[in-house]
Amino acid sequence: MDRVRTSIATVCLSGTLEDKLPAIAAAGFDGLEVFEPDFVSSPWSAEELARRAADLGLSLDLYQPFRDVDSVDPEEFARNLVRAERKFDVMERLGCDTLLVCSSTLPQAVRADDRLAEQLAVLADAAHRRGLRIAYEALAWGAHVNTYRHSWRVVEAADHPALGVCLDSFHILSRGDDPSGIRDIPGEKIFFLQLADAPAMSMDVLQWSRHYRNFPGQGSFDLAGFGAHVEAAGYRGPWSLEIFNDTFRGSDTGRTAADAHRSLRYLEAEVSRRVRAEAAPPPRDDRRARLFDAPSASPLEGVVSLRLAAGPGKSDALRTVLGRLGFRLAGVHRAHDLQLWRHGGLTVVVDASAGTVWTAPGLPAHLPVLTQIGVRSSDPESWEERARAFEVRAREVGLPGAEGASTPERGSASDVVRLDMTDATSLDVRGPASAAAWEAAFELYPGERGWEDDVSLFTGVDHVGLAIPADNWDGVMLLLRSVLAMTPREGLDVTDAVGMLRNRALERPAPDGGPGALRLTLSMVPGSVSSHLGAARRGGIGHVAFACTDIFTTAASMRARGFEPLPIPANYYDDLDARFGLSRELLDRMADSGILYDADSDGEFFHLFTPTVGADFFFEVVQRVGGYRGYGDANAAVRLAAQLRAT
Amino acid sequence: MDRVRTSIATVCLSGTLEDKLPAIAAAGFDGLEVFEPDFVSSPWSAEELARRAADLGLSLDLYQPFRDVDSVDPEEFARNLVRAERKFDVMERLGCDTLLVCSSTLPQAVRADDRLAEQLAVLADAAHRRGLRIAYEALAWGAHVNTYRHSWRVVEAADHPALGVCLDSFHILSRGDDPSGIRDIPGEKIFFLQLADAPAMSMDVLQWSRHYRNFPGQGSFDLAGFGAHVEAAGYRGPWSLEIFNDTFRGSDTGRTAADAHRSLRYLEAEVSRRVRAEAAPPPRDDRRARLFDAPSASPLEGVVSLRLAAGPGKSDALRTVLGRLGFRLAGVHRAHDLQLWRHGGLTVVVDASAGTVWTAPGLPAHLPVLTQIGVRSSDPESWEERARAFEVRAREVGLPGAEGASTPERGSASDVVRLDMTDATSLDVRGPASAAAWEAAFELYPGERGWEDDVSLFTGVDHVGLAIPADNWDGVMLLLRSVLAMTPREGLDVTDAVGMLRNRALERPAPDGGPGALRLTLSMVPGSVSSHLGAARRGGIGHVAFACTDIFTTAASMRARGFEPLPIPANYYDDLDARFGLSRELLDRMADSGILYDADSDGEFFHLFTPTVGADFFFEVVQRVGGYRGYGDANAAVRLAAQLRAT
């Protein structure tokens, strides 16, 4: 079976070639593109680079970029050919046979297609004499040639065996071009394929390209559709990543390389789905077989448990809030400083031990931190398999308290598979036997064993908010979209008292097509570590929102337990009055309980907040009315200011 | 004399109103714009806010924004009037008489100008009944009204005493509109003036406006020309800042407010210059008198001294490099661990003491750090006065070693005025008597007192590179442009092995019109503190470049002293060959001495580097040939990779 070969441009990664090559090999790539500035600044000779790559089992698939070859000035074109010969020298020494030539961006670019085809044929002939070939790429900002159709017209006209096109998804999709015409290009004339995703942005395409590209599955392009066209054209060369991203270039090399390879696995699976959907019955040629398919896993059935690391310092405050929210202490762990809190079908484990406190390296932790989200599913092992297919670490974990051990206790039958979503928080897929297994580790209070509440203030967890450091944002996005098949909603930036908060919600629909079985709201923490969590983003991030069907009743019940809602200013309700014209009576009732309000065309949203526990964590209670799909982001600035004041 | 009143929108600053009001007052503003979300999220009632502002001597100049008032749907317009009445209620309680109304961005915006004028007149009438007035502003992205000319046409047509226009420099200049038509608007119909600068960016204007505005003197707009038009129109209301900037909203409130007020002083001085240039003889009305003029100061005559904090750990390495560059140890300080190094007309003081090490709060310092740049000038006191006029701290300093004392020694006649350019580095303006005064503090070696080299490898300092934390970038830019009258060159981003480096050069021409008397290259350090200096930006920032007239001779002389240049890869010279077609002999000579090359249409540039001393600091030697104006940025990635390898 002829599997898709994977490749990556060295420009995607941080560091020098000494760092990049081993990381590329370790991530599982088959080859790489030599980005010229990396080579020019390297002390390795061409032969040395070739040897190092070969030792790592990596092929050198492309040398790039060669710019502005054509010219209306024949003398300049002649000089450019000499320049190309010098690069052919290097390629021969590297053993790399394909040169990427970009369409010219200069005023002296050739504008007559026949003349351009002639010049490219001359260049291709020079390459051909050396056993090399030219992949011609239309830059989205090329002076004359800036669409793939145009580059193909010129290549077709040149009609030279050593001249083909290079297709780059960014240059095509960033312009909004229709990629379906790729099917009309003979596969063997597509000499190279570069893949890049990018977030939706309204900005100059050159700046967008140079700074904000990201890996497939991290942005907004329809790369699955793009890939299906390329497959249909019959292209059989490597799928290669060419990503210019400021954050990636400052991030850990190995982690970025692993994300990169995962992104190609994800894209393969998506393209495979698209190809299958196109062809019924499935295509009989090799198109299907070479593409990776992700194994499916058992449906997720909602969040049932949470674990919070509070440490000795924050556990009292956390317990107080849990109690006022209606949770009761159901038991304590037999060996560790863990408390089991319950309400309705929900379990919260409070970790008060000092040892399991989550800390970023060298920095104080800001507790509490949500370390586990438990979701119910019938077959956790199917999730282990799916995660592995996407090159994500997942493993069955032992009983609570032992799960920190370096060797997972395979025989302990916890029926829980753990997937690391972020550096701080795991998703625990919990099978039918998990509750009983976990209960066994706790000393439960009388009546608690096997007991299930039949009344609850909450119908479940509406959503969970997580703080993601900027340099891991795209990595988490890819993981959630690939392994968990979550769908990102439109991003929203919230301006608050202490800066700008980048937010993004991701949702995974429930099996019954109802409200999301898993909804996450991610907030970006500036910088590469969590050092800002405390000082700069107090009250901004990290929360659990419980769902209810009548927020006024729920609030009253909580108040009866001593709950004090986050105080919301009277000015807010005056403004609500001006904006929505709600009845004075409703406004007064909301103000009494610190309830905030939003509405969209489909419904209404009521929510209230706890003050923060510690600096960074809080609970929310929400009621959705009708088909409201948002998260009340319009109220975020008011909440944040109130939380800043309350702490 | 009727001075310009200064005002600022609360949205410009970080924090809540409790933080913002005192900072606004302390910075010297006369009033403020109440940004509605700040008020809505405040626990202060309108009366309380009014009282607090009055206590601080601040007027409430504007309530903003009120959006999307007009509508083709009469019922919606009626609802919007009700919404406006609720805001009038608030304004009455605040004692704020002007409401900012933005042109509508909605599909249902009124497109017929006469109809729109009618609706605005109805709104103005409602305001008028309360003694309030409406300032109508054209948003650059308004659905129908998006130019100031259009907003004025509609306001003129409405012809209502309580309706005028608000002019916002961003909305006008971001579109590239010609602002000269402002002169045709009667000054009394300009109800408000909002001022914002912005860096040149090719991006969606809404995103640009919401995230990247900055204060006058920090961006690229011709605000002096804009202000001159507004003056000519006869506007006499406050000059107010409305800046949406993510960085400012996360930065220190007091510091941002001080920068903000300085930016208005700077703009006043620039507008005043423009108005004077327009009118010869000077205008006789009050236009000139009300504008601030900055006192001029004595010319700067080149960098003559540097001071580096090396601490006990890095001073040996620094001394070794200085010696190889041709500097000699000329003496030691009588009381402190300071060494005086000399070469030609240049002095370098190496501070080896532990006590004066520069550290960001709570973080390890990355030494060496350039702490002072000494420039010669005939009248340092004139700089003290000029700095004070721009609200920048400058003071005469005592003799070296005592200058860290909290009380400057006024009587010590050092003839040096110190201006803090950045948190790390001061500019010391050194008068004619300063050299002798400073010499006195040192135990000089025999023959060094009063001695001057008549030969030198270097003709002076070509430029100095400084690292600026991101959250102080705009502040430093404003200070250099205002007090030092430096001119920024086009910015350049350098992609290197470890990320993206934002660079900007600023130049102050020499009195004789020759090469720059002071050239600074600034590099932005990500984040708000210098924590990244070491790990993330090794070799990237902080350097002193000496100028010479023959780099090959200079390099040979340095090598004779044991200097080893930073090793530059052979691949680099192969690439130079391909790009510039230099002679093999020249390439070999450059390679021998680690010399890099660049050229532009006006000349050539040769430069070489030392390996870094410590993690972050290095020296450069440069030779400019012809009129080359750059800094060899094309070679930055090669240099950075080599420095990463060499340390």
Residues A282-325 have pLDDT tens digits of 555 555 457 888 899 999 999 999 999 888 888 899 999 999 99
Who among B41, B90, B644 is closest to A16 (CB)? B644
Q: Which of A250, A567, A571 is closest, CB to CB, to B40?
A: A571
CA distance B459 to B643: 26
Indicate yes or no: CB of A43 within 8 angstroms of CB of B249: no
Residue A462 has pLDDT above 60, yes or no: yes
Nearest to B237 by CA among B190, B272, B284, B170: B190
Query: How far apart, in Å, are the Cα atoms of A217 and each of A240, A477, A478, B195?
Result: 15, 8, 5, 41
Flag whether A137 is marked binding: yes
Outline where B68-112 has alpha helix (H).
Answer: 74-94
- Taking an 8 Å cut-off on Cβ atoms, the answer to whether A42 and B499 are in contact is no
Average pLDDT for chain B: 88
Subunit contact B202:A204, Cβ cutoff 8 A: yes
Residue B301, marked binder:
no
Residues of A in contact with B528 (CB under 8 A): 536
CA count, 13 A, side-chain hemisphere, A536: 25
Query: Which residues of chain B form CATH 3.20.20.150?
Result: 6-278
Is residue A609 within 8 Å of residue A594, measured between CB atoms?
yes
Test B207 with A202 for CB contact under 8 angstroms.
yes
3-state secondary structure of A79: helix
The closest of B615, B555, B619 to B590, measured between CA atoms, is: B555
Residues of A with CB below 8 A from B83's CB? 578-579
**CB-nearest partner of A571 from B39, B82, B637:** B39
Q: Which residue of B has its CA nearest to A537?
A: B250
| Three-class SS state of B323 | helix
Per the model's pLDDT, the better-predicted residue between B561 and B493 turns out to be B561
Which residue of B83, B571, B638, B647 to mutate against A (max A Cβ within 10 Å)? B571
How buried is residue A452: exposed, middle or buried, by Cβ count under 10 Å (0-12/13-18/19+)? Answer: exposed
Give the tens place of pLDDT for each residue, B476-513.
999 999 999 999 887 666 665 556 567 889 999 876 66
- Show residues of chain A in contact with B206, CB under 8 Å: 202
Q: Are A23 and A33 in contact (CB under 8 A)?
A: no
A528 to chain B, closest Cα gap in Å: 10
Query: Can you give B495-530 as a three-state secondary structure string?
Result: EECCEEEEEEEEEECCCCCCCCCEEEEEEEECCCCH
Is A384 annotated as ligand-binding? no
Chain B residues with CB-CB distance to A502 below 8 A: none
Range A240-247 average pLDDT:
89
Q: How far apart are the first and last CA of chain B?
A: 61
Residues in chain A: 647
- Using the beta-carbon criterion (under 8 Å), do B571 and A83 form an inter-chain contact? no
Residues whose CB falls within 8 Å of the CB of residue A579, separated by 6 or more in sequence, listed in order: B83
End-to-end CA distance of chain A: 61
* Single pTM value for the model: 0.87
Please give the residue of chain A at the shortest CA–CA distance from B567.
A43
Residue A202 C-alpha, separation from nearest chain B C-alpha, in angstroms: 5
Q: What is the mean pLDDT of residues A363-392?
A: 87
The closest CB to that of A41, out of B202, B528, B641, belongs to B641
Nearest-angstrom CA–CA distance, A153 and A572: 61
Partner residues linked to B418 by β-bridges: B395, B428
Chain A contact set for B526 (CB, 8 A): 250, 527
> DSSP per residue over A28-71, as a string?
T-SEEEEEHHHHHT-SS-HHHHHHHHHHTT-EEEEEEEE-----
- Contact check, Cβ <8 Å, B39/A82: no
Task: Find chain B residues with C-beta within 8 A of A246's C-beta.
Answer: 499-500
Predicted local distance difference test score (pLDDT) of residue A513 = 63
Residues of A in contact with B250 (CB under 8 A): 498-500, 526, 536
**Is A498–B207 a contact, with Cβ atoms under 8 angstroms apart?**
no
Looking at the domain covering B457-647, what would its CATH class be? alpha beta
How close does chain A come to B355, measured CA to CA in Å? 25
Cross-chain Cβ contact A250/B572 below 8 Å: no
User: Closest partner residue to B42 among A250, A571, A581, by Cβ?
Assistant: A571
Does domain B6-278 bear CATH number 3.60.15.10? no
Q: Rounded distance, CA B152 to CA B234, Å?
A: 15
Quick one: closest CA in B to A84, which residue?
B578
- Cβ burial of A184 (10 Å; 0-12, 13-18, 19+) is exposed
Instruction: List all residues 6 or more positions away from A280 whose beta carbon is below 8 Å from its beta carbon.
Output: none
Contacts of B36 in chain A (CB under 8 A): 575
pLDDT of B411 above 50: no
Quote the CATH superfamily of domain A458-647: 2,3-Dihydroxybiphenyl 1,2-Dioxygenase, domain 1 (3.10.180.10)
pLDDT tens sequence across A616-629: 789 999 999 999 98
pLDDT tens per residue, range A469-510 = 777 889 999 999 999 999 988 766 666 555 656 788 999 987
Q: What is the mean pLDDT of residues B176-180?
A: 96
Percent of chain B clearing pLDDT 90 (strictly above): 66
Round to whole Å and give the CA distance between B621 and B429.
Answer: 24
CB < 8 Å to B575, chain A: 36, 40
Any binding-site annotation on B543?
yes
Could you tell me the two tokens for B232?
């000519």
Between CA A439 and CA A225 the distance in angstroms is 47
pLDDT band at residue B294, thresholds of 50, 70 and 90?
Answer: confident
Contact A203 B206 (CB under 8 A): no
CA atoms in the 13 A half-sphere facing the CB of A616: 25
Contact B497 A41 (CB under 8 A): yes
Partner-chain residue, chosen from B42, B572, B638, that has the shortest CB–CB distance to A569: B42
B569 min Cα distance to partner chain A (Å)? 5
Q: Which of A21, A39, A40 to mutate to test the interface with B (most CBs of B within 10 A)?
A: A40
Task: Quote the pLDDT of residue B162.
Answer: 98
The chain-wide mean pLDDT, for chain A, equals 88
**pLDDT value for A289:** 58
Question: Is the pLDDT assigned to residue A7 strictly greater than 70?
Answer: yes
| Res. B406: pLDDT tops 60 | no
- Which is more confidently placed, A220 or A597? A597
CATH 3.10.180.10 in chain A: give the residue spans: 298-456, 458-647
CA distance, residue A645 to nearest chain B CA (Å): 9
The values of phi and psi at residue A46, to 5°, are -60, -40
Contacts of B49 in chain A (CB under 8 A): none
**Which residues make up the CATH 3.10.180.10 domain(s) of chain B?**
294-453, 457-647
Report the residue from A87, A250, A497 with minimal CB separation from B578: A87
Of B106, B113, B103, residue with least CA distance to B154: B113
Res. A516 pLDDT band, cuts 50 70 90:
low
* B420 annotated as a binding-site residue: no
According to CATH, the topology of domain A298-456 is: 2,3-Dihydroxybiphenyl 1,2-Dioxygenase; domain 1 (3.10.180)
Q: Do A575 and B642 touch (CB under 8 A)?
A: no
3-state SS of A474-523? HHHHHHHHHCCCCEECCCEEEEECCEEEEEEEEEECCCCCCCCCEEEEEE
The total number of residues shown for chain B amounts to: 647
Rama region for A33: left / alpha / beta (φ>0; ψ in -120 to 50; rest)? beta
Cα–Cα distance measured from residue B445 to residue B552, given in angstroms and rounded to the nearest whole number? 31
Q: Do B86 and A577 lie within an 8 Å CB cutoff?
A: yes
Least confident of A212-221, A295-304, A570-579, B290-299: B290-299
- Cα distance from A141 to chain B (closest Cα, Å)? 13
The answer to whether A182 and A166 are in contact (CB under 8 A) is no
A289 against B323, higher pLDDT: B323
Which of A67-71, A604-608, B211-215 bottoms out in mean pLDDT, i.e. has the lowest? B211-215
Q: Which residues of B touch A640 (CB under 8 A)?
A: 41
Q: Which H or E run contains A146?
A: none
Residues 6+ apart with CB under 8 A from B402: B409, B412
A-B interface: how many C-beta pairs under 8 angstroms?
Answer: 154
**SS3 helix, strand, coil % of chain B, rounded to 5?**
35, 25, 40
Q: How far is CA A277 from CA A228, A287, A306, A363, A634, in A?
A: 10, 13, 38, 49, 39
> What is the CATH T-level fold of the domain B294-453, as seen in this structure?
2,3-Dihydroxybiphenyl 1,2-Dioxygenase; domain 1 (3.10.180)
Nearest CA in chain A to B249: A499
| Contact yes or no for B569 and A41 at CB 8 A | yes
Using alpha carbons, select from B125, B93, B30, B105 the residue that is nearest to residue B65.
B105
Please tell me whether A194 is known to bind a ligand.
yes
What letters, b where the CB count within 10 A reaches 16 and e where it falls short, cover B537-573?
bbbbbbbbbbbbeebbebbeebeeeebebbebbebbb
Q: What is the ipTM of this complex?
A: 0.83
Nearest to B204 among A79, A202, A641 (CB): A202
Does the annotation place A261 within a ligand binding site? no
- The residues facing A371 across adjacent strands are none
Cis check: omega of the bond before A22, within 30 degrees of 0: no
